[in-house]
């Protein structure tokens, strides 16, 4: 596989990161109404979701023909738990725009077995002829995860059940009212699924992401830094605030 230099776009602050991501998604939907998007959850993304909901209310963007695939979901979990990614997506996007229910996909955290959830999701992904844009965040501390592809994930990885890295569990436990309710695992799209997108943007904010960004952009491409595998893709842009870019 060829490797490429990731494009780096450093913004003056986190609000400019939000604006840039918002513009990219809005332009994508304007130029191709039936775009297929891969979307993430997480604290980093909330700002641009707000902007796109506002734009929808002002009739500047339309989700009528769009399709959304979420990157990942905890497993097992009640989907109506406020900390599920299903709830996050409804709260921050889905309930506020005109996406058709049948066009929004997220791994089923209530499936009887993880195998069932995985094969159902992989089949749906495999049916997509084209994925236009993937929006990503990067995991906390040294994980360098994308989706929940933790350290050890390779570029050929597919949708699967994974055990969360300790650093991920620690960082994400703040989102659970009762820490003990946080699942130990998740279903994630694989890196090979993400690399199928025509265009990829990764957003990172804050000093705590600086090491992971540097490792993924400038370090060796290997499974120790799953986000480094993005450099197998010719159209990847890391959109960073100054803190996240501070080690580049
Ligand atoms: C979540 C996801 C994760 C997050 C990452 C960063 O759907 O794909 O890879 O993007 O854990 O999360 P935040 O933005 O909360 O720092």
3-class SS string, the chain: CCCCCCEEEEECCHHHHHHHHHHHHHHHHHHCCCCEEEECCCHHHHHHHHHHHHHHHCCCCCCCCCEEEECEEEECCCCCCCCCHHHHHHHHCHHHCCCCHHHEECCCCCCCCHHHHHHHHHHHHHHCCCEEEEEECCCCCCCCCECCECCCCCCCCCCEEEECCHHHHHHHHHHCCCHHHCCCEEEECCHHHHCCEEEEEEEECCHHHHHHHHHHHHCCCCCCCHHHHHHHCCCEEEEEECCCCCCC
Residue minimizing CA distance to atom 12 of ligand 1: 42
Q: Which residues line ligand 1 (CB under 6 A)?
A: 40-44, 71-72, 85, 137, 139-140, 145-147
The pLDDT value given to residue 2: 92
Mean pLDDT over each residue of the chain, to the nearest integer: 97
Mean pLDDT of 196-216: 98
Q: Best substitution site from 138, 144, 194 to test ligand 1's pocket, by max atoms within 8 Å of Cβ?
A: 138
Q: Of the residues 70, 85, 139, which should be mutated to test ligand 1's pocket, given the most ligand atoms within 8 Å of the CB?
A: 139
**Low-confidence winner among 24-38, 176-190, 234-248 (lowest mean pLDDT):** 176-190
Q: What is the pTM of this model?
A: 0.98
Does 178 score more than 90 pLDDT? no
Q: What is the mean pLDDT of residues 153-165?
A: 97
pLDDT at residue 107 tops 90: yes
Contacts 24+ apart (CB under 8 A), 88-94: 88/41, 89/39, 89/41, 92/41, 92/45, 92/46, 92/49, 92/50, 92/53, 93/39, 93/49, 93/52, 93/53, 94/68
| Cα 224 to ligand 1 centroid, rounded to whole Å | 17
* Model pLDDT, residue 182: 95
Residue nearest to atom 5 of ligand 1 (CA): 139
C-alpha 42 – ligand 1 centre gap (Å): 4
């Amino acid at each position: 596989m060829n490797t490429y230099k990731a494009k780096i776009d450093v913004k003056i602050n986190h609000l400019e990161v939000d604006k840039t991501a918002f513009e990219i998604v809005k332009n994508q939907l304007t130029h191709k109404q039936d775009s297929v998007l891969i979307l993430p959850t997480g604290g980093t993304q909330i700002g641009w979701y707000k902007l796109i909901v506002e734009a929808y209310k002002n009739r500047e963007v339309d989700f009528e023909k769009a399709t959304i695939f979420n990157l990942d979901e905890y497993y097992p979990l009640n989907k109506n738990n406020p900390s599920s990614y299903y709830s996050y997506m409804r709260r921050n996007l889905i309930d506020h725009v005109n996406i058709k229910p049948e066009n929004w996909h997220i791994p089923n955290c209530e499936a009887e077995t993880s195998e069932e959830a995985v094969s159902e999701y992989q089949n749906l992904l495999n049916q997509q002829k084209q994925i236009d844009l993937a929006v990503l965040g990067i995991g906390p501390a040294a994980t360098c995860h994308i989706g929940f592809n933790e350290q050890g994930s390779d570029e050929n990885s597919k949708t699967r059940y994974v055990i969360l890295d300790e650093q991920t569990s620690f960082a994400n436990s703040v989102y659970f009212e009762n820490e003990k309710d946080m699942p130990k695992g998740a279903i994630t799209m694989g890196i090979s699924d993400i690399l199928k997108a025509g265009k990829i943007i990764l957003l990172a904010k804050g000093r705590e992401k600086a090491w992971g960004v540097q490792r993924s952009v400038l370090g060796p491409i290997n499974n120790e830094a799953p986000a480094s595998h993005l450099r197998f893709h010719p159209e990847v842009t890391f959109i960073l605030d100054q803190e996240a870019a501070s080690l580049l």
